[in-house]
Structure formats: C-alpha cells, structure tokens
C-alpha cells in the first residue's frame, strides 16, 4: 500500500507540481490508490474549469473593448464624413431628429411618413430653400443609415 501511495505522489510531482502533491498528501493520509487517483482527477477537472472561466472572462473583456472602439461612418448634416463611436450615436441621432423636427424617440415608419410629408414643403422645386432641403435630406439619410445598421 505504501509503494502505491509513493508512486501516486511521484506521479503528482511530475504532473501537478510539488504544491499539489503536498496538498493531496495532507488530505489523503491513509487513503488507497483508487482514492488518490479520484482526488487527482477531481483536482485536474477543477483546474480545467478555473482555466476556462479565466478564458471566458478575457474573451468578455476583449468584446467590451472592441465595442468601445467600434466606429460607424456617416455623413453629417454639413456633408462631411464622420466616424462616430457607439457613445456618439445617440447624440447624433437626437441632432438629426431635431433637424427634422421629430420627437427624439420615433419609430421608423413615423420618420419616413414625416419625411415624405415634409419633403413637399422643403423641396427646391416647390419653392423651398436648396440649402435647407439638403440639410434635411442628410439628416433623413443619416437616420436611415443608423436604422439599417440596427443602431
């Protein structure tokens, strides 16, 4: 019995390190080889579970960092291309809604309906100001881009 226990400890020293072997030796005083093998297997499973938990935490951290760095390219109301981070999308959406005279929280069918009715008044062919028409059109198109991207 003693030689089996010593061989198990040597195996632990080779596979798991001195710390693990000493911990198990302290817990397994008087246990047989089968119990030593079962406890060794349980400790290995526990280490694998802890390792996987650490990997998942690192993956979640990487996803959060990618989201913070993610940017969306849009054309602003002045016609310049801008790159917006995810934090800047909501203020930009509010700005576009303000330009069109819409409430901040509007579903897409109501935005489209409002645009079709308002475009009759703003269109240069109907006596509207071309600069105002262009600005309103860019606001509508920016809202359309954000909607198509699910933002």
> Tell me: the pLDDT tens digits for 15-45?
656 556 556 665 655 556 566 667 777 777 7
pLDDT digits (tens, 9 = 90+) for 84-108: 887 888 888 888 888 888 887 778 8
End-to-end CA gap in the chain = 68
Residue 128 phi, psi (nearest 5): -85, 170
HSE, side-chain direction, 13 A CA sphere, residue 89: 18
pLDDT digits (tens, 9 = 90+) for 41-51: 777 777 887 88
CATH topology of domain 71-148: Helix Hairpins (1.10.287)
Q: Which of these, 146, 143, 142, lies nearest to 75 by C-alpha position?
A: 142
HSE, side-chain direction, 13 A CA sphere, residue 124: 9
| Tokens describing residue 148 | 């198509």
What average pLDDT does the structure give for the chain? Answer: 78
Residue 103: what pLDDT?
83
User: Which position has the higher pLDDT, 10 or 108?
Assistant: 108
Classify residue 147 by its DSSP letter. H
Residue 70: what pLDDT?
73
Could you tell me the residue ranges of all domains in the chain? 2-67, 71-148
What is the C-alpha radius of gyration for the chain, rounded to an integer number of angstroms?
A: 33
Query: Taking the model in full, what pTM does it have?
Result: 0.53
How confident is residue 1, by pLDDT bands cut at 50, 70 and 90?
very low
């Amino acid at each position: 019995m003693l030689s089996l226990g010593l061989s198990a400890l040597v195996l632990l020293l080779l596979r798991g390190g001195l710390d693990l072997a000493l911990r198990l030796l302290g817990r397994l005083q008087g246990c047989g080889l089968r119990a030593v093998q079962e406890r060794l297997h349980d400790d290995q499973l526990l280490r694998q579970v802890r390792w996987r938990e650490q990997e998942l935490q690192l993956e979640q951290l990487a996803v959060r960092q990618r989201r913070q760095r993610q940017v969306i390219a849009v054309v602003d109301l002045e016609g310049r291309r801008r790159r917006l981070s995810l934090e800047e999308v909501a203020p930009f959406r509010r700005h576009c809604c303000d330009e069109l005279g819409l409430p901040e929280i509007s579903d897409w069918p109501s935005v489209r309906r409002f645009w079709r009715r308002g475009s009759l008044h703003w269109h240069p062919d109907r006596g509207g100001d071309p600069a105002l028409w262009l600005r309103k059109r860019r606001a509508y198109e920016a809202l359309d881009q954000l909607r198509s991207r699910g933002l």
